[in-house]
Amino acid sequence: MMDILIKLLSIAGWFAAVVIAAIAYIGMIIFLLKKKVIGDAGAKAFYFGGFVIAAAFVYRLSVF
């Protein structure tokens, strides 16, 4: 019973960490857009790069 609880809490912890990291990533892009550091094309490149790196991590692909 304790093993199941530990696994569920581990899954919930990882889920929360991923959600918080994604919110911080998107918040950073919005901040950079508002400060006019990057343009729309730069924001799209950041989003695309983030998705590529996340997909490579999930599917264990080599990025470099």
31-52 pLDDT tens trace? 999 999 999 999 999 989 988 8
Domain extent listing, the chain:
2-58
pLDDT band, very low/low/confident/very high, at 29 (cuts 50, 70, 90): very high
Q: Residue 60: what pLDDT?
A: 82
How would DSSP label each residue in 1-64?
-HHHHHHHHHHHHHHHHHHHHHHHHHHHHHHHHHTTSS-HHHHHHHHHHHHHHHHHHHTT----
